[in-house]
Structure 1
Amino acid sequence: MSDLFASDAPEKQAAGRPLADRLRPATLGEVVGQEHLTGEEGALSRMIASGSLGSMIFWGPPGTGKTTVARLLAGQTELAFEQISAIFSGVADLKKVFESARLRRTNGRQTLLFVDEIHRFNRAQQDSFLPVMEDGTVILVGATTENPSFELNAALLSRARVLTFQALSEDSILQLLERAETVEGRALPLDEDARAMLLRMADGDGRAALTLGEEVWRAARTGEIFDAVMLQRIVQRRAPVYDKGQDGHYNLISALHKSVRGSDPDAALYYLARMFDAGEDPLYLGRRLVRMAVEDIGLADPQALVIANAAKDAYDYLGSPEGELAFAQACVYLATAPKSNAVYNAFKAATRAAKENGSLLPPKHILNAPTKLMKDEAYGQGYQYDHDQPDAFSGQDYFPEKMGRQQFYDPPDRGFERDLKKRLEYWARLRKERSGSGT
């Protein structure tokens, strides 16, 4: 048994403390399920061995040890530890934390600032970390359950290393429960099937697993052993149909997306219902429906994006379970809408062109000339204001001269894009007729 458990032996110290708190690791080596970070060759172990920490973002599901690891890093590097939550903190709180960190730094001690739910801070609040990160006032460790690429500012991400925490495997959860049994000095009163169900109920969350274990011990009478049915009745929680962080999650969202793309509303509703039934985060489903609207329908039906966003707003307003019907309505609309990935393909092509020709200047006739020098350099000369031209169309070329005209967007002849195709063909004829006039 480790020193962690030995130190928790006195009854007075343990009284009233949740099991998850009593089992909190005292060293990185005791952290379960994150060996790719905390093992001998792990990224965090190597940082500690080097004697130097940089700012980091911990990305992963709840109950995987992000807060615990941050505390351990501070302890093992003799940094002062400050913790705030973006849910409960504002600008005034950040200023106080930064001032305290600056004072410590003048006394020769650096601060590790742990920010839980860092994605909840807005752009301006995230930017406020940049100066204190750059001058070494704080080493920032932010924790988030959301994809940092989407939720955090690029400037913040460029100054921090993203480390991914994984949902705990059933083997890791089992290891935690065995530690708990050692500390409690008694086995969980569960038969084999119930024990396996408890592992699934934890759903990769170590804290949840230990909380469930406590519930079982509280509920069991002397000599009582729970089976799987009784376990569900006692803890009032069902085992997830799939692990939201593993293959089942990705398999079902893939099936939902492809059913919508394949214009099969019945299959799409089935997979949507399965994901709701499994306890999937509704906001995740809402984001995926919006993605389907822009990727697979696009301008073939411009209302698809409007309806997908409206479904998300309706869910926010109604909550569960009433709001789930809004997602179902959006799902059917998307599945029955005309399909087009023309904008999706056009944007990918434009992105490639931007990377290849990113240094080219726009043609001078479409640049403003706020100074005399720029006017002398022919900035803005020859520009034709489209609203003053016949058909409100000048036909000028707007691409960099070295690139020449490009075509990225090629709408199909279906849905609303049939009309867009006609407009583009009409403008192409006019452009050809007026080519060279005013460029």
Structure 2
Amino acid sequence: MNAIAIEKQVNVNLSQERGLLRFITAGSVDDGKSTLIGRLLFDSKGIFADQLDAISRAKHKRTVGDTIDLSLLTDGLEAEREQGITIDVAYRYFATPKRKFIIADTPGHEQYTRNMVTGASTADAVVILVDVSKVKLNDDGSVDLLVQTKRHSTIAHLLKIQHVIVAVNKMDLVNYDQNVYDRIVAEYKKFADQLGLSAVHAVPLSALAGDNVVTATDKMPWYQGPTLIDLLESLSIYDASHDEPFRFPVQLVARHNGHEANDFRGYMGRIEAGKVSKGDQLIVQPSGQSATVKDILTLDGSLESAVVGQSVTILLNEYLDISRGDMLAGADRPANQLKTVKADLCWLSEDALDVRRKYWLKHTTKQVAARVTAVDTLLDINTQQRSPATSLKLNDIATVTLNVQQALAADAYDKIRSTGAFILIDEVTHQTVAAGMIRIEE
């Protein structure tokens, strides 16, 4: 491997392990998600002076006197500021000496669950806020978590987000009572066990007051754990797709400019899993043709090897019929060829699923006609029980069976997220109506 390739591979690995963390905030309406992000940005010095001045003068400020309304840092739409809710996904970047972060502030209202799914699809971690003032503490010692808390936790599990942080917010409203915190965390972890969430961390905080967000507080001496930012800085997010078989969905076939004698033909795209080197044996899917890697090109020149996350142009020794939507895979471990697809589906459209209709299925760079032939089981968010169904409505989550017009070269979502995910598109309105995760039984 040459020096350029080694440097790029090291940079990719560092980015995956300790460099850049993508995380989202999730929870119910008014749990304090936007305020929490504003507090993170404010206390970590991630706000410019003009931004601070703008939100101080905002007409829809929801704080008293000169107190800054930190939620306005992410609620940028006029409708969001006017109504005091988050509607769209807002992305913000900030950095500490230890790590860089991209935050997605996602809506809490059930109507905008589809926006939460969008933000969660690329996240390494999720911060689920639980508002202590809304949680019902029963006399028998049990706790009733909000439906949206359960819904967002379920989506985090389906999307295989690596880390879940339970931020028990507004502790100042219950006088920083340890008993309230302990009961809520115990109930959430019981629900997480039902889901199968394993990496769950908990922290008590007050986003409005700034307790345990960036700075530790002396108001909760019973809590000796890390602050939220300390927790986020310490999370390990190594991407297992480095170790998976090679996957390269072809985005574009590159030809020479017509003024050169050599017949240049390269296949451009992003490596979604594994690694590739010159001389490697590949298989073209779905055609099944064999190929050998002749060269790997980037803007910086030729590479001996390339790894997941890099965008490259691959040249082959053979002249083959390859076009956008085809998959170049490792010959030793090719992707599954699927004409019938089993998947977990999050329905995102206000128009119900119609099993008599065709939809467009978009998987990596390939788009094919598809039909949902059966809704196998519908998931009850509260009980985690599954039952038969014939259709899906907005925000429903179900296991379904689809038939596709052309075979997909796909993997189980549990194995490789990028080649196990897809969306469904309405062929008339061109709106995204569902997000799916492919499940393949071993």
- Shorter-chain TM-score category? under 0.3
Larger Rg: 1
- Using structure 1 for the length normalisation, give the TM-score: 0.23
Larger helix fraction of residues: 1
Larger strand fraction of residues: 2
- Using structure 2 for the length normalisation, give the TM-score: 0.23
